[in-house]
Amino acid sequence: MPTPPAKAPTMTESLRALMTGLIDYSGLFPPSKQPMDKATSNYARYLMEPNVFALGRFICATTRLEELTTTGALVMPGTYATSGYQEMIDAADPWSVSAVIDGDLEACLDKIDLFNEHHSHADHGRAKVDAIEMRVTTPGEIDDALDEIPEDLSVAIEFPREIVNGGDARGFIAALAGNDATAKIRCGGLTPDFIPETEKVAEFIVACAQAGVPFKATAGLHHPVRSVHPLTYEAGCPTGTMHGFMNVFLGACLHHAKAIDAVGLLECLNETDASAFTFTDEHAAWRGHKIETGKVIRAREAFGVSYGSCSFEEPFDDLKELGLL
């Protein structure tokens, strides 16, 4: 008989609330850039591991959905997988996939329809694209896109990098208000110039809160607390001061709950001392600014949705080093 998955790690209820469903797995994308077979086997393994409560969607470019079908079907639920966990795989929910629009929107939506139809059959491996992510260059493109996208797909809209990093994203965010769509911010990249200043991240989060628009993030959030790290996995690669996912998402939760104002949010984003963040079963806090666990749950559901990471393991390795697991 196969050994069942290990018991979930011990952590406080407020940290679990912050982490639940937080990390969308983007192993196909830089800097990890795993081949499809490795990324799909990783995702299947993460679904069996104790930290699965933090795992969100599998992120895949729309033009690679056929490859996902061919390579990933063997480890998706409902297939003839031979991993030794067959009963558990058969009983699992379909994979939840977020498709990144990387071509003509109409053509990409057709590919998504074909993928969902194919994987609605158990013998093909059960999976469903239930979310899409796309970039726009002007606020006007947002209305046009939302008119074309089916209502059963969650939508995350990424704005031009120069708008977020050096301009004013409020016009883009205003175009999302009332449209049941999510704003997306890129927090890092392969070189330091892709990392937005904390002031710009704070402005983005505050503008989303004011407009009642939820947000997700991507890139550069492998580590819990703001700190200097290599930006890729290559020897001699550039380093940069990376944003911390606790800074961003606990800060967003505190701001959503009106426990800190815009100035406090900026200070939280700039925090580099891990001991400034504390978690108990009853509340989470940053330098004495507290938020009840129930409000963390509500803020995560309604406001700070998730972030894409090409590593699902690094965040937990760091949390363990910090003594939070």
pLDDT single digits (tens) 202-219: 999 999 999 999 999 999
| Predicted confidence (pLDDT) at residue 2 exceeds the cutoff of 70 | no
Burial class from Cβ neighbours inside 10 Å (0-12, 13-18, 19+) for residue 180 reads exposed
Closest Cα to residue 129, out of 27, 58, 45? 58
Mean pLDDT in residue range 81-110: 79
| Predicted confidence (pLDDT) at residue 89 exceeds the cutoff of 60 | no
- Distance CA(124)–CA(126), nearest Å, equals 6
Cα–Cα separations (whole angstroms), residue 112 to 63, 97, 99, 143: 10, 10, 8, 20
Predicted confidence at residue 280, as pLDDT, reads 97
Mean pLDDT in residue range 7-24: 90
User: Which range, of 58-72, 86-100, 116-130, 132-146, averages the lowest pLDDT?
Assistant: 86-100
If one counts every other C-beta atom within 10 angstroms of the C-beta of residue 197, the result is 16
Predicted confidence at residue 1, as pLDDT, reads 35
- Distance CA(301)–CA(122), nearest Å, equals 30
Its pTM stands at 0.93
Predicted confidence at residue 166, as pLDDT, reads 81
**Cα 1 off chain centre by:** 35
Mean pLDDT in residue range 223-245: 94
Q: CATH assignment of 13-321?
A: 3.20.20
Q: Which residue ranges make up each domain of the chain? A: 13-321
Mean pLDDT in residue range 95-113: 98
Predicted confidence at residue 47, as pLDDT, reads 94
| Predicted confidence (pLDDT) at residue 38 exceeds the cutoff of 90 | yes
| Predicted confidence (pLDDT) at residue 34 exceeds the cutoff of 90 | yes
User: For all residues of the chain together, what is the average pLDDT?
Assistant: 92
Predicted confidence at residue 128, as pLDDT, reads 97
Mean pLDDT in residue range 199-204: 96
Predicted confidence at residue 9, as pLDDT, reads 61
| Predicted confidence (pLDDT) at residue 92 exceeds the cutoff of 90 | no
pLDDT of 240-256, one tens digit each?
A: 999 999 999 999 999 99
